[in-house]
Amino acid sequence: MIAEKPSVAQSLAKVIGANQKKDGYLEGNGYIVSWCVGHLIELANPEHYDEKYKKWRKEDLPIFPAPFSYQVTASTKKQYQVLKNLMKRSDVDSLVEATDAGREGELIFRLVYKQAGCKKPFERLWISSMEDKAIKEGFENLSPSVDYDDLYEAALCRERADWLVGINATRFFSTVYGQTLNVGRVMTPTLAMIVEREAEIKGFKPENFYTVQMLVSGVAVTSKRFKRKQEADELVEKINAADKAKISKMEITTKTEKPPLLYDLTSLQRDANKYYGFTAQQTLDYTQSLYEKKLVTYPRTDSRYLTDDMDDSTARLCCLMKDKYGYTKMVPISTKQVLNSSKVSDHHAIIPTENVSDADYSEIPSGEQKILGLVTARLLSSVGDSAEITEYALEVECAGEVFKAKSKCITSPGWHLLEDWILGKKQDDEEADSGKKDDGGSHGILEILEADASLLSEGRELPARDPKVKEGKTTPKKRFTEDLYCKG
């Protein structure tokens, strides 16, 4: 059995009883368990195909190997030799591919298998969790290797595309401009987005604008923007002369906010950056570590759903997580909204494992604790009730202009309660009512409506108080963060 790294190999070996430590592998109970150390095999450098490629010359481009050749990575030759020798052992009848259940894991194993010239049959261990129970179930349901041939071909395409673009474009632009310029299939378009955004920011010229704000029945309402202060000053004079304002619209809309979907890797990276400032790589590293500690499921997934057969196990998991985080209120758990096998390809969404209920948080690094909190909060909120948000839109006419104010409050928090509890945002419902706060000391729309709804009824005329000119400046677009970039 070949795993992707030593820590995973040890977890697998423990479950199947391979407890004897050897040099570069474990053995026992009829199994040999060894590991790769990342990519043991890599595409050969250009000079492997022809000595002339040692020197970078534009006239030698493009380089298109036919066929591609592979070589053993210099730093991992020892472990590769261990694997090769184990594959050739006469008492080894077959292999189990136990590298990470994804495209790169498939490539890592197959390249070693082919480089070693192995012809022995192998099966695929495909699991989404490192829990002992999941490993046992995986062993009981090993898949034929042929089922993953297309995944291997896809991995080869990705790897060779990276090589062709990276080698040829890097050498071309470096020779043209007389300095080393690294070009990559993914890196360069990403860099182009950042450079373009930076050019927009540097070329941005802020412009002043002016609005007029006044109080109507204690509510601050605001006019459209004016480019010239004189226009705003003239409007203030007109308001003072008119003295009265008319309510032209008082619209109340109630919206339902469905629970969020579960996390895939991208959405988790986005939220981890938004809440904690983690980079995408930090989030992946923390989540991968939690996966290897058997506390979350496989991180490199693009699905935000669970399979239909996970109904009972998900409900049980939710109850365990609720108790672990000390949430004592009644939780209506509706797992149906997170189950959809048709939207799960290689792996289901990222969720905590049942092991979390017995985990000692004092032994978990703080960064991993935060990721675990996000994943747990998302699981519980995703099976909760919808939230209900009421929005208020007020429009007032005065001196020939329309003034507006908006407000909203969460009238039924639903799934927000669970998320806020797990993430430590234990605030009163009133604090979430944006309609009750205003930096200018005015009343909110909801506060006025609760006191006397008729005060803001359409068609009613009210005094226009304290008109003021407010000055502002336009701002440039924000620089990319992991959060903004993932959204884009």
In sequence order, what DSSP letters do the residues of 344-404 get, joined into one string? Answer: -SSS--B-B-GGGGG--GGGS-HHHHHHHHHHHHHHHHHTSPPEEEEEEEEEEEETTEEEE
Would residue 311 count as lying in a domain?
yes
Residue 271 has pLDDT above 90, yes or no: yes
Would residue 37 count as lying in a domain?
yes
Helix (H, G, I), strand (E, B) or coil at 463: strand
Q: For helices 280-292 and 366-382, what crossing angle results, to 10°?
A: 80
Claim to verify: residue 49 and residue 154 sit in the same structural domain: yes
> Which of residues 135, 162, 189 is at a domain's end?
162
Structure confidence at residue 331 (pLDDT): 67
Claim to verify: residue 351 and residue 276 sit in the same structural domain: yes
Q: Cis peptide before 67, with omega less than 30 degrees from 0?
A: yes
Would residue 176 count as lying in a domain?
no
Claim to verify: residue 75 and residue 149 sit in the same structural domain: yes
Lowest mean pLDDT among 170-179, 204-213, 473-482: 473-482
Angstrom distance (rounded) from CA 440 to CA 250:
21
> Which of residues 354, 382, 410 is at a domain's end?
382
Q: Which domain holds residue 146?
A: 2-162
Q: What confidence tens digit (pLDDT) does each residue in 292-304 have? A: 999 999 999 999 9
Nearest Cα neighbor of 334 from 293, 379, 370 is: 379
Claim to verify: residue 377 and residue 319 sit in the same structural domain: yes
Residue 379 contacts by C-beta under 8 Å, 6 or more apart in sequence?
262, 317, 318, 321, 351, 352
Structure confidence at residue 330 (pLDDT): 66
What beta strand segments (E) does 100-243 contain?
Answer: 122-124, 143-144, 208-216, 219-222
Nearest Cα neighbor of 317 from 379, 364, 396, 268 is: 379
Instruction: Give the domain CATH number at 404.
Output: 2.70.20.10
Alpha-helical runs (H) found in 206-279: 229-242, 265-276
Nearest Cα neighbor of 271 from 381, 136, 184 is: 381
Would residue 270 count as lying in a domain?
yes
Claim to verify: residue 274 and residue 418 sit in the same structural domain: no
Angstrom distance (rounded) from CA 49 to CA 66:
9
Nearest Cα neighbor of 160 from 44, 270, 324, 258 is: 44
Instruction: Give the domain CATH number at 121.
Output: 3.40.50.140
Average pLDDT estimate for 20-46: 95
Residue 488 has pLDDT above 80, yes or no: no
Structure confidence at residue 86 (pLDDT): 98
Structure confidence at residue 46 (pLDDT): 97
Angstrom distance (rounded) from CA 337 to CA 356:
23
Would residue 174 count as lying in a domain?
no
Claim to verify: residue 336 and residue 242 sit in the same structural domain: no
Nearest Cα neighbor of 135 from 266, 286, 39, 33 is: 33
Structure confidence at residue 422 (pLDDT): 83
Check if 305 is active-site.
no
Average pLDDT estimate for 139-161: 96
Claim to verify: residue 140 and residue 25 sit in the same structural domain: yes
Cα dihedral sign, 304-309-312-313: negative
Q: What confidence tens digit (pLDDT) does each residue in 202-260 have? A: 999 999 999 999 999 999 999 999 999 999 999 999 999 998 999 999 999 999 999 99
> Which of residues 382, 414, 446 is at a domain's end?
382
Q: What confidence tens digit (pLDDT) does each residue in 370-407 have? A: 999 999 999 999 999 999 999 999 999 999 999 999 99
Claim to verify: residue 142 and residue 15 sit in the same structural domain: yes
Structure confidence at residue 96 (pLDDT): 98
Angstrom distance (rounded) from CA 63 to CA 367:
44
Structure confidence at residue 177 (pLDDT): 96
Token readout for 269 is 């990276």
Angstrom distance (rounded) from CA 133 to CA 143:
17
Structure confidence at residue 484 (pLDDT): 65
Would residue 190 count as lying in a domain?
no
Alpha-helical runs (H) found in 25-126: 46-49, 77-88, 103-115
Question: Given the DSSP bridges, would you call strands 219-222 and 208-216 parallel, antiparallel or unpaired?
Answer: antiparallel
Average pLDDT estimate for 326-352: 86
Q: With a threshold of 0.85, does the pTM exceed it?
A: no
Would residue 34 count as lying in a domain?
yes
CB 469 within 8 A of CB 222: no
Token readout for 296 is 């979350």
Claim to verify: residue 346 and residue 473 sit in the same structural domain: no
Q: Cis peptide before 62, with omega less than 30 degrees from 0?
A: yes
Angstrom distance (rounded) from CA 414 to CA 82:
56
Average pLDDT estimate for 357-377: 94
Percent of the chain with pLDDT over 90: 82
Token readout for 180 is 């080393």
Token readout for 220 is 């601050």
Helix (H, G, I), strand (E, B) or coil at 139: helix
Angstrom distance (rounded) from CA 214 to CA 402:
12
Structure confidence at residue 448 (pLDDT): 87
pLDDT band at 452 (very low <50, low <70, confident <90, very high): confident
Number of structural domains (the chain) is: 3
Distance between the two ends of the chain, CA-based, in angstroms? Answer: 41
The one catalytic residue in 80, 148, 298, 305 is 298
Dihedral, 306, 278, 410, 393 alpha carbons, nearest 10: -120
Residue 427 has pLDDT above 90, yes or no: no
Residue by residue, what is the 3-state secondary structure of 324-347? Answer: HCCCCCCCCCCHHHHECHHHCCCC
Question: Given the DSSP bridges, would you call strands 387-398 and 244-257 parallel, antiparallel or unpaired?
Answer: antiparallel
Claim to verify: residue 328 and residue 402 sit in the same structural domain: no
CB 40 within 8 A of CB 84: no
CA-to-CA dists, residue 57 to 43, 180, 185, angstroms:
21, 13, 21
Claim to verify: residue 326 and residue 213 sit in the same structural domain: no
Structure confidence at residue 425 (pLDDT): 66
Residue 255 contacts by C-beta under 8 Å, 6 or more apart in sequence?
388, 389, 390, 391
CA-to-CA dists, residue 481 to 192, 194, 201, 269, 302, angstroms:
15, 10, 15, 11, 20
Q: How many CB atoms lie within 10 A of CB 73?
A: 15
Claim to verify: residue 152 and residue 7 sit in the same structural domain: yes
Mean of pLDDT over the chain? 91
Would residue 439 count as lying in a domain?
yes
Lowest mean pLDDT among 87-91, 219-223, 384-388, 424-428: 424-428
Residue 431 has pLDDT above 60, yes or no: no
Helix (H, G, I), strand (E, B) or coil at 480: coil
Instruction: Give the domain CATH number at 321.
Output: 1.10.290.10
